[in-house]
Amino acid sequence: MSTDRPAELAARVATLDTIAAVLPMDRRDELAELLTDQDIETLRHLVNQGMGANTLRALTSDLAYLQAWSLAATGRSLPWPAPEALLLKFVAHHLWDAEKRLTDPEHGMPADVDDKLRIQGFLRTVGPHAPDTVRRRLATWSTLTKWRGHVGAFSSPALKSAIRLAVRATPRPKRRKSAKSVTGDILSKLIGTCRSDNLRDVRDRAILMVAFASGGRRRSEIASLRIEQLQPEEPIQIDGAPPLPSLSIHLGRTKTSGAQNDEVVYLTGHPVEALNAWLTAAKIDKDSVFRAIDRWGNISQRALDPKAINDFVKQRAEMAGLDPNNFSAHGLRSGYLTEAANRGIPLPEAMEQSRHRSVQQASEYFNSATRRSGKAARLL
């Protein structure tokens, strides 16, 4: 931990307050101790440059972990640029063979480093890290190194070889963010638990329907949704039936869009009605759309935390008699594409709504749905 004087620490906390809107401020004091003045100045610069809030949160989280690990492993803050030996130590501490650890206690992350990170809340699970997590944190480290005007050793053959060999030695099946997709039938069961007219049921019904029907929006996009992003559209007339209400959602800059792009998706019919019912019941006409509700039925003025959406998806799954461990908020995103495939909607049309940029990623859901019912799977 830092040995800065109280006045210096207080000044760092005050600086963090200026960017509180986009950083995980529940750990503000801890961040003030872990991060250096230069770290915090870099973060403030990125806020002023308009970096996406979700990207900045992820970057800050990775930076805090790297600093905590460096302090635990070496007793010093991260050096800039980091020597190749330190990068290799990071790989050795995080990608290791669980079986070899049984016979060699010194293999992998040392016990004292593990203990320090666990006490601080940076380590929660037991075992080696996921390769993707290690690669992401190294990429963050590399990016920060470049922003400081240095050239790192992140492209060195030794580091690439170490990662490749470590991954090969400790194979891990790729896990989905949600074990099961929330397809149409599952969604109906979740919505079925929102039967009453109390505020919580009205809100959760609207969140489920809006998140799914808008293309399987990410939980961060739903949590941060604001009234000014909603634009009423002309009702949709289909085959002489009563007109369906319609609105557009202006997502602005998203995880996969460019800085200047305004991503737009559309809602039609029941999801619009559910959203309007929530806004009317909650008397919301500005600022955040979806908000927390306390046990007395009082509605917060602040937006929901993205984690809360994941929590209530699991809660609704359990209420519907399903295993909550199989579902998460990301299941709405994968479920949208899976359901689109099941209903024969062309992939390009579904991607227009989901806003996936990668055909390869989106087609994974389509392929799974069509392969299960295809001729190749029914030879016998």
Instruction: Give kind and range of the element (H or E) at residue 116.
Output: helix 111-119
Kindly report the pTM of this predicted structure: 0.59
Q: Residue type at 101?
A: R
* Percent of the chain whose predicted confidence (pLDDT) is above 70: 78
Instruction: Give residue-wise pLDDT tens across range 71-122.
Output: 999 999 999 999 999 999 999 999 988 788 888 888 889 999 999 999 988 8
Across 15-19, 145-149, 281-285, 356-360, the highest mean pLDDT is recorded for 281-285
As a whole number, mean pLDDT of residues 314-324 equals: 94
pLDDT at 68: 93
Helix (H) / strand (E) containing 75: none
263-268/244-252 β-pairing:
antiparallel
> Among 17-31, 157-171, 347-361, which is the least confidently predicted range?
17-31
Least confident segment among 197-201, 221-225, 350-354:
350-354
Structural domains in the chain plus CATH codes = 6-169 (no CATH), 184-377 (1.10.443.10)
Give me 351's structure tokens: 């991607």
The answer on pLDDT for 12 being more than 80 is no
The answer to whether residues 354 and 362 touch, using CB atoms and an 8 Å cutoff, is yes
Q: Structure tokens of 10?
A: 């207080």
* Range in 46-60, 84-98, 311-325, 326-340 with the lowest mean pLDDT: 46-60
Tokens representing 92 are 């050795």
Of the ranges 171-180, 192-201, 244-253, which one carries the lowest mean pLDDT score?
171-180
Whole-number pLDDT of residue 83: 93
Residue 243 neighbours by CB under 8 Å, 6+ apart: 235, 236, 237
**Residue 295 φ/ψ, nearest 5 degrees:** -70, -15
| Residue-level pLDDT at 347 | 76
Closest CA to 268 of 250, 243, 240: 243
Q: Which of 34-43, 267-276, 311-320, 362-371 shows the lowest mean pLDDT across its residues?
A: 362-371
Q: Look at residue 13 in the predicted model and tell me its pLDDT.
A: 58
Report the range of poorest mean pLDDT among 171-185, 194-208, 218-232.
171-185
Q: What is the per-residue pLDDT for 14?
A: 57
Decide: 240 and 186 in contact? Cβ < 8 Å.
no
- Res 1: pLDDT: 47
3-class secondary structure for the chain? CCCCCHHHHHHHHHHHHCCCCCCCHHHHHHHHHHCCHHHHHHHHHHHHCCCCHHHHHHHHHHHHHHHHHHHHHHCCCCCCCCCHHHHHHHHHHHCCCHHHHHHCCCCCCCHHHHHHHHHCCCCCCCCCCCHHHHHHHHHHHHHHHHHCCCCCCCCCHHHHHHHHHHHHHCCCCCCCCCCCCCCHHHHHHHHHCCCCCCHHHHHHHHHHHHHHHCCCCCHHHHHCCEHHHEEEEEEECCCCCCCEEEEEEEEECCCCCCCCCCEEEEEECHHHHHHHHHHHHHCCCCCECCEEECCCCCEEEEECCHHHHHHHHHHHHHHCCCCHHHCCCHHHHHHHHHHHHHCCCCHHHHHHHHCCCCHHHHHHHHHHHHHHHCHHHHCC
pLDDT at residue 172 greater than cutoff 70: no
pLDDT digits (tens, 9 = 90+) for 267-316: 999 999 999 999 999 999 999 999 999 888 899 988 888 888 999 999 99
- Average pLDDT estimate for 310-332: 92
Mean pLDDT of the chain: 82
Partners of residue 248 on adjacent β-strands: 231, 266
Q: What is the mean pLDDT of residues 180-199?
A: 92
187 pLDDT band, cuts 50/70/90, is very high
CA distance 105 to 124: 19
**pLDDT band, very low/low/confident/very high, at 212 (cuts 50, 70, 90):** very high
In this structure, are residues 249 and 264 in contact, taking their beta carbons and an 8 Å threshold? yes
The candidate with the shortest Cα–Cα distance to 335, out of 206, 203, 213, is: 213
